[in-house]
Structure 1
Amino acid sequence: MTKLQFDTAEPVRITLPNGLTYEQPTGLFINNKFMKAQDGKTYPVEDPSTETTICEVSSATTEDVEYAIECADRAFHDTEWATQDPRERGRLLSKLADELESQIDLASSIEALDNGKTLALARGDVTIAINCLRDAAAYADKINGRTINTGDGYMNFTTLEPIGVCGQIIPWNFPIMMLTWKIAPALAMGNVCILKPAAVTPLNALYFASLCKKVGIPAGVVNIVPGPGRTVGAALTNDPRIRKLAFTGSTEVGKSVAVDSSESNLKKITLELGGKSAHLVFDDADIKKTLPNLVNGIFKNAGQICSSGSRIYVQEGIYDELLAAFKAYLETEIKVGNPFDKANFQGAITNRQQFDTIMNYIDIGKKEGAKILTGGEKVGDKGYFIRPTVFYDVKEDMRIVKEEIFGPVVTVAKFKTLEEGVEMANSSEFGLGSGIETESLSTGLKVAKMLKAGTVWINTYNDFDSRVPFGGVKQSGYGREMGEEVYHAYTEVKAVRIKL
């Protein structure tokens, strides 16, 4: 065991904008202790709505990550965590779900403060997180192997066994939800975890860690190590003791994660990467019903969703009518501002770097000759707020059509036939989400089969349920989060064949 000296990191008391007060953990969570980094370094966590510092948290070093891996490895191999009756793991996950639910107002408020999303959206995220934990508790003893009939001379069966130490890297757009998407199924199957939250949004991950300790998750089973990707992420992808790595983030970084993970020890990996998803609106669509779906598709979470419907294609018969209705709806119904104000649909962009990236893309769109239907400017003097922006009459070779912007910016173009619409939708190298607006069940099902995407929403969009698998095809990655499928990603199959 590594001989290191660790100092305890004390929590700080934070009063949230809605008046709730709590103790925010600030240290690395390793082996059920909150501790300072080996070099003592911390970094500031910013409130994107006010551009002020919330608090400072410890920034993990390579040595810290190595220690976390040692603790996790010991918890997996030297305790009964992986070998106990799976119902016991389910019981702990159920307790964790209950505890998070009892703190849903606080957890939602932390999410809104740290990420910049509206409080209502944050509450929806925490609800999905709770459901993920409950699903995992239910599945813990139900994901099993099978028997295989090969004739009377043999008996054959398979077992599903935990993989071991799992590294998990999550982005800043859904801090609490992405955390449970990864930790819950890993624990249910008997694995242990080291999770790296996004550096800019670590607060709820550390708060969640305190709940894990409170309900009795054993030491070393869950470890949370905030810090920069070049330090913490690299340590997780390159260490041969990590047997499974799950990454959610950009396609560019995902490719390097895949290479490094393979070269280190051929880790089992799942990747949920970028997107440039298409949202098809057919002539028979009910425009009144379609408008909220288009808004959820691209402006929910300020467009910071990998599956956002950032390319809208409208059949020519209702193109002009829909554009006029879309403009009116956005300018009268969709308000942007303080995440804790219930009147606002869209909060802040999560960090300065992403805010600058989005504003740069808006400038690119203007220079490319795309027409702006509405939006295109910053909102307010403080905070990273951008008005919902719609470019229309765009051309397929424009950068704003081809490249992921990851913000409240959408392009609109028209198509004639069903086949042309599908061809335009499938022209992207990404394949995460997609949407269809139609009153015809036949059209919806036919187009759903033709679209090259991991998820197809019909007459809804960015509508998640913890029981439905989510993931991409093409350069949007491979593997699935949620649903029964995710549990198989955290197991290895062992075949046993007996000659009778």
Structure 2
Amino acid sequence: MDQNNPFLSPPTAARTFGFFVDGQWREGGEHFERASPGHGTPVTRTVRCSVDDLNAAVCAARNAFEDRRWSGLSGAGRGGVLLRAAEILRRRRDEIAYWEALENGKPIAQARGEIDHCIACFEVGAGAARMLHGDSFNSLGDDLFGMVLREPIGVVGLITPWNFPFLILCERVPFILASGCTMVVKPSEVTSATTLLLAEVLTEAGLPAGVYNVITGSGRVIGQALSEHPDVDMLSFTGSTAVGRSCVHAAADSNFKKLGLELGGKNPIIVFADSDLEDAADGAAFGISFNTGQCCVSSSRLIVERSVAAEFEKLLVEKMKKIRVGDPLDGATQVGAITTEAQNATILDYIARGKADGATLLTGGGAVDLGRGQYIAPTLFSGVSRDMAIARDEIFGPVLCSMHFDTVEDAIQLANDTVYGLAASVWTKNIDKALTVSRRVRAGRFWVNTIMAGGPEMPLGGFKQSGWGREAGIYGVEEYTQVKSVHVEIGKRTHWIA
């Protein structure tokens, strides 16, 4: 461990948080106590807010939008607040990473890296606020001039998941703010701390009251009410496809609010015989083990050319056995704890199903006993057929299933054989193969000879049942705007009535 860092062990008592509405911290009655999945000890207490609390937050966001205290600022003005937020995040990086690791169970080194990415999101958002623009049409003849305006959509409801509580928050918040919108955020009940800490950061950065509001509580109560709320103009939800489908119904049954959905994935990693196999093995091990596989873009389906499959799987097993599973607060840990007890049970159940269905377990395959907390070893199955549950369902854990192919067409067909289309990667030194596969595999994010690379300049989002819309970069700002056409008559009107 880094002995110069004060955040080395769990707190001696759980920290109590309020919730944040209209620039003020508020207290509630009933609280939810969260235990660290890596240590089993209580670390935070957050309010179980009521629907009345949510209504107050939506009202605050509506007032802040309508009086133009935020949307009426110039792009430079909004960008200045976002840049100051980035600097405050840089100063508080280790503190925020600490609470992220405690509640989520992810390794502290990974959490710090995620905060660095979040800082970049605010910096990119600041630039995007200044660059957002519409268009003009000087082609309507001498008597008419056309303009296309991009205007903020209004009040945004933002529901974030437990697997990347701060990263997914920050891949949205600065871009929503850059557009001029106001928002109400509902974090996962088990990982609310860092979303609440961002309220402190944004307030210090100069964000006006009412623009960023946080309501904590359960998805069934608060999340459902937010998705149904008639005064919310857009809902951004990240989570399972099943819950995303319920958001669609809620939007249709309320006010036809716009939706941004980043949902499930069962993402292929395609390895050709002509690739650098050691690089590809390292990429595959990282892609399934990062964030303990609790990652919507994790590469959970290995599709490897048959002629090198045995050799590649051997390399991969060697890599996966060296992965350091351990205490999230240990700086050397690469794979931390499974975030919730329910998810831990789900992953272990899928591993059992893989064995029962006849897949060959090559490494991992069970819990890791560290004396406290809940941990699962990175797991690799071979001999997997496309009809097995482990090949079709999003497990959301460190479980990789290997399937083999003979031709480029076979690889593409296997990669597309899923209801999802969130992410994919291909490993080859042949540019023709790389371009062919990247163009024909249906996924919103694609990596060639790398995995989970890139920055917030690039858009995020999925195809098929992996979601609607795009986040991050200028696309992510435009997502939270609506387009208005303006026609300006020039000169004397030709009268309809003589």
TM (normalized to structure 2)?
0.94
Q: How does 1:216-365 map to 2 (within 5 A)?
A: 216-331=206-321, 333-365=322-354
Which of 151, 160, 176 aligns to 1:186? It is 176
Q: Give distance in 2, aligned partners of 1:80 and 1:434.
A: 42
Cα-to-partner distance string for 1:299-355 (whole Å, 9 max, x where unaligned)? 111001111110001101111100111111211x21101112232211111111111
Please say if residues 112 and 122 of structure 1, whose CA atoms lie closer than 8 Å, have aligned partners that are also in contact.
yes
> Which position in structure 1 is the counterpart of 2:43?
54
> Which position in structure 1 is the counterpart of 2:95?
106
Which of 81, 84, 107 aligns to 1:92? It is 81
Q: Give distance in 1, aligned partners of 2:228 and 2:327.
A: 41
Please say if residues 109 and 332 of structure 2, whose CA atoms lie closer than 8 Å, have aligned partners that are also in contact.
no
Q: Give distance in 2, aligned partners of 1:427 and 1:493.
A: 36
SS in 2 for 1:245: strand
Q: Which has the larger displacement, 193-202 or 108-117?
A: 108-117
User: Which amino acid in structure 2 is aligned with residue 89 of structure 1?
Assistant: R
> Which position in structure 2 is the counterpart of 1:385?
375
Q: Give distance in 1, aligned partners of 2:13 and 2:356.
A: 47
How far the C-alpha of 1:160 sits from its partner, in A, is 0.8
Q: Give distance in 1, aligned partners of 2:454 and 2:20.
A: 29
User: Which amino acid in structure 1 is aligned with residue 217 of structure 2?
Assistant: G
Cα-to-partner distance string for 1:435-492 (whole Å, 9 max, x where unaligned)? 1011112211111001011111111112241111111000001111112111111111
> Which position in structure 1 is the counterpart of 2:494?
none
> Which position in structure 1 is the counterpart of 2:52?
63
Which of 154, 162, 165 aligns to 2:155? It is 165
Going from structure 1 to structure 2, the CA distance change for 1:364 and 1:22 (only over 3 Å counts) comes to: closer
SS in 2 for 1:456: strand
SS in 2 for 1:167: strand
SS in 2 for 1:484: helix
Going from structure 1 to structure 2, the CA distance change for 1:44 and 1:22 (only over 3 Å counts) comes to: closer
User: Which amino acid in structure 2 is aligned with residue 34 of structure 1?
Assistant: W
Q: Which segments of 5 or more consecutive residues in structure 2 lack a partner in the other structure?
A: 1-5, 491-498
How far the C-alpha of 1:230 sits from its partner, in A, is 1.1
Verify: 1:28 aligned to 2:19, yes or no. Answer: yes
How far the C-alpha of 1:51 sits from its partner, in A, is 1.7
User: Which amino acid in structure 1 is aligned with residue 261 of structure 2?
Assistant: L
Amino-acid identity (%): 36
Cα-to-partner distance string for 1:201-226 (whole Å, 9 max, x where unaligned)? 01111111111122221111100111
Which of 349, 363, 380 aligns to 1:374? It is 363
Q: Which has the larger displacement, 287-296 or 401-410?
A: 287-296
> Which position in structure 1 is the counterpart of 2:425?
435
Which of 477, 482, 489 aligns to 2:479? It is 489
Cα-to-partner distance string for 1:99-157 (whole Å, 9 max, x where unaligned)? 00111111112211111111111112111111111111111121110001223231001
Q: Which segments of 5 or more consecutive residues in structure 1 lack a partner in the other structure?
A: 1-14
Please say if residues 266 and 418 of structure 2, whose CA atoms lie closer than 8 Å, have aligned partners that are also in contact.
yes
> Which position in structure 2 is the counterpart of 1:419?
409
Which of 418, 443, 460 aligns to 2:450? It is 460
Q: Give distance in 1, aligned partners of 2:101 and 2:311.
A: 35
Q: Give distance in 2, aligned partners of 1:25 and 1:160.
A: 41
Please say if residues 24 and 207 of structure 1, whose CA atoms lie closer than 8 Å, have aligned partners that are also in contact.
no
> Which position in structure 1 is the counterpart of 2:493?
none
User: Which amino acid in structure 2 is aligned with residue 234 of structure 1?
Assistant: Q
> Which position in structure 1 is the counterpart of 2:113?
124
Q: Which runs of 4+ in 1 moved over 6 A?
A: 19-23
TM (normalized to structure 1)?
0.94
Q: CA RMSD in A?
A: 1.6
